[in-house]
Amino acid sequence: MRTRAVPGILAAVAFCLSGCFAVEPGPDDCRPVDEGGECFAPSRVGFVEHALASARAWPQLDGRAIEAGEVVEGFDAAAGQPTWIVPLRSDGEIVAASRFLPFEHAVRLAEIALYLPAREAFPMPAPGERLVIFTQACGDPMPATCLFNEHGWRLEQDP
């Protein structure tokens, strides 16, 4: 019996050492701001820092002063879950937006959209409303009916 267990244990050790076994970070592993981008505790500071860091990846925004707008809590109708969106401004115009999704008890950056041409306004829900994004084919340049490459938007009453 012992001889059969040894090969199984050795196989498990070899599997783990080979790098084929990855452990996902748990919610306790998420710091308030995770510079690696994996996950972070939901907070205005975390959303803003990650949104600004992701915007700096666009070469089209090099050398421009960028500031974050309000964090908009919305709902992703396709995924059936909350989403948070941060519009990013430069010279008074909306030049990009970052979107975040829940990950266990934390959040992660899901995508960032670059707006060319820049937009003058961003959909902001009034009290009693929420921003809902849904799957929609968007062309290039992205029309104002889209916030992200494959997501349109609408404002609706809070449920």
The whole domain housing 131 covers 27-157
Tally of domains within the chain? 1
Tell me what pLDDT residue 98 has.
95
Is it true that the peptide bond before 117 is cis, omega within 30 degrees of 0? yes
The answer to whether residue 151 is domain-embedded is yes
Is residue 10 in a domain? no
Domain annotation covers residue 3 = no
Between residues 62 and 14, the one the model is more confident about: 62
Does residue 13 lie in a domain region? no
Residue 55 backbone dihedrals phi, psi, to 5 degrees: -65, -30
pLDDT digits (tens, 9 = 90+) for 75-130: 999 999 999 999 999 999 999 999 999 988 899 999 999 998 999 999 999 999 99
Is 6 domain-assigned?
A: no
> Would you say residue 4 has pLDDT above 90?
no
Does residue 7 belong to any structural domain of this protein?
no
Question: pLDDT digits over 27-73, tens only?
Answer: 445 544 445 557 888 999 999 999 999 898 899 999 999 999 999 99
Give the three-state DSSP class for 5. Answer: helix
Helix (H, G, I), strand (E, B) or coil at 34: coil
Q: Which two tokens stand for residue 2?
A: 């012992």
What pTM, to 2 d.p., does this model score?
0.76
